[in-house]
Amino acid sequence: MAESIELLTYVNGRIMPHSQASPLLQRINGASIGGFYDAERTFGGEVFKLRSHLERLYRGLEASSIDPQISIEELERITLGIIEANLSLLPNGHEYIVTQIVNQSQRQSPDDSGTINVVVYCQPLDFTRFARSYIDGVRIVTPNTYGIPSGQEPGDSKDGSQQVFLLMASPNGGVSECEGANFMFVKNGRIKLPDRRNVLPGVSMQTVLELADSLNFPVDEGTYTQRDIYAADEAFVSSTRYCILPVATLNGLPVGEGIPGKATTALLESWSAAVGIDFVNQALSHLPPAE
């Protein structure tokens, strides 16, 4: 019987089938004293803004005084090579999430600086976890004032139910970002961006700002409260996997009228045009037929 073909993974200079890499990755993670990772998605098999993601990864490593012992150019080359090596296994209409991990193993002695591990691997993007949110929107809750809905975990949906995101507060009492996503809202045709000093700016957030500029949407950056969002015309979250998802409710109350709103729709259409693929319809095509 012919051996099944599986995804290839890069681990510390070696490329191997992912099934062989998994035990090694478990040992690496078990011995790790900390590290960083980043992830990108493909559109039509082409990775999006890889260099921007890697620059963010290297900024985190530098801030933590971790020497990756590999240049950003080399990690970029490795990542593109892993995507290319796995492209033949990517069915039409599907995409990859590609992840880079750089971590440091525990020191065995005071003189031991610890081993640096570098991993790059691909995973198929599971559209079913967020596709319906393009139509239904997501639920936003502020855990400091409103409990998480019973039985619903924040983040991607595992059963097709409406997604829930936690919106965090900044030190000055305003809203900041969602857990795992950046948050923005729209009022009177102007995009409102929480003060970036209180958030971890994502590559997707920066893409939204670039698209907003090309669409002539003014952007205001400042301190905003829950009351501002209740009065918003629309709101959305941004992250790598889904790019932009409209917000349906904040703490159970509707945000704006219509999902997605006009600005969110324009941003989604502009992003789709930029990558050459209607990724909203692509995601929706992976949902099971309606009963």
The tally of domains found in the chain comes to: 2
Q: What is the pLDDT of residues 8-34, one digit of tens each?
A: 999 999 999 999 988 888 877 655 556
Same domain, 137 and 270: yes
Examine the fold and report which residue of 125, 148, 172 is the final residue of a domain before the chain moves on: 125
Torsion sign over Cα 58, 63, 68, 70: positive
Both tokens assigned to 96: 């990859």
Same domain, 113 and 136: no
Same domain, 19 and 112: yes
Which residue matches tokens 């600086």?
113
* Inside any domain, residue 3: no
Torsion sign over Cα 7, 90, 208, 76: positive
Q: What is the pLDDT of residues 67-119, one digit of tens each?
A: 999 999 999 999 999 999 999 999 999 999 999 999 887 655 454 456 889 99
Q: How far are the Cα atoms of 6, 85, 167, 189, 282 from residue 263, in angstroms, in the given order?
A: 41, 38, 21, 7, 21
* Inside any domain, residue 2: no
Both tokens assigned to 184: 């923005």
Q: What is the pLDDT of residues 118-137, one digit of tens each?
A: 999 999 999 999 999 999 99
Question: Strand 243-250 relative to strand 138-141: parallel, antiparallel, unpaired?
Answer: parallel
Give the pLDDT of residue 83: 97
* Inside any domain, residue 113: yes
Same domain, 157 and 183: yes
Same domain, 111 and 133: no
Same domain, 172 and 99: no
Same domain, 22 and 106: yes
Same domain, 114 and 137: no
Give the pLDDT of residue 232: 97
Same domain, 79 and 140: no
CATH number at residue 64: 3.30.470.10
Percent of the chain with pLDDT over 70: 87
Give the pLDDT of residue 64: 87
Same domain, 33 and 82: yes
* Inside any domain, residue 121: yes
| Range name among 181-195, 196-210, 211-225 with the lowest pLDDT average | 196-210
Domain of 159, in residue numbers: 129-284
Same domain, 112 and 23: yes
Above 80 in pLDDT, residue 51?
yes
CATH number at residue 260: 3.20.10.10
